[in-house]
Amino acid sequence: MAQEPQHSGSLKYGGVFAGVAVLWLVLDRLTKIYFENAYELGQTSVHDYLVVRFRLIHNTGAAWGFFSDSTFALGCLSLVVCALVVAAWLMWDKAMGRPATLVETLALSLVFSGGLGNCIDRFMQGYVIDFLDFTFMDFPVFNVADIGVTCGFALLVIAYLVLERNSGAAEAESADGAEDAEAVEVADAPETSDASEGDRA
């Protein structure tokens, strides 16, 4: 009977990685195009929407104004990060000693797509289109690509913590099982000393 081919985690969830990356990138591009055409630069929406309002800005640096007017350098950095994310996903088996889980694949795909979305802005337009502004705190205006990067990193951390907890619980159960097995073996062992005394008598 022929064995089914063994696929790595990367190949197993390849469709998930590609599909999520494409969908998130399309969503990012469509929302940026809409707000770029519907709002004037600096314009803020009349109404607030739950915890956000819309405000169009062109960001030539990073968050909180860091590296202002460093668009090209930040674009190159984004490309490097995207390449590293793909490499990490493809080499996950060797680096971590196990295939990437579905959640980890989803997380890496979001980080990749978000980084690529902002990278496209920087190289094509010389700035990143941001339009989401929190109403309850002083926070940099952001976009869908930023949400993907942030949520992707958060999912990676959560997946790591959950796997570590489950691994610790499994090791504890294995240790308890080993102790129980040793106790059963001791209890079932023949009383050789009593038998020897009976023979000598």
Residue 72 and residue 141 in contact, taking contact as beta carbons nearer than 8 Å:
no
Active site (annotated) includes residue 130:
yes
List C-alpha distances in Å: 99 to 13, 44, 74, 103, 186.
10, 45, 31, 11, 39
User: Of residues 146, 176, 188, 199, which has the active-site annotation?
Assistant: 146
Tell me whether residue 194 is one of the annotated catalytic residues: no
Catalytic hit among 69, 130, 133, 199: 130
Helix H or strand E segment including 52: strand 52-59
- Rg (Cα) of the chain, in Å, rounded? 28
Q: How far, in Å, CA of 152 to CA of 104, rounded?
A: 8
Residues with a known catalytic role: 130, 146
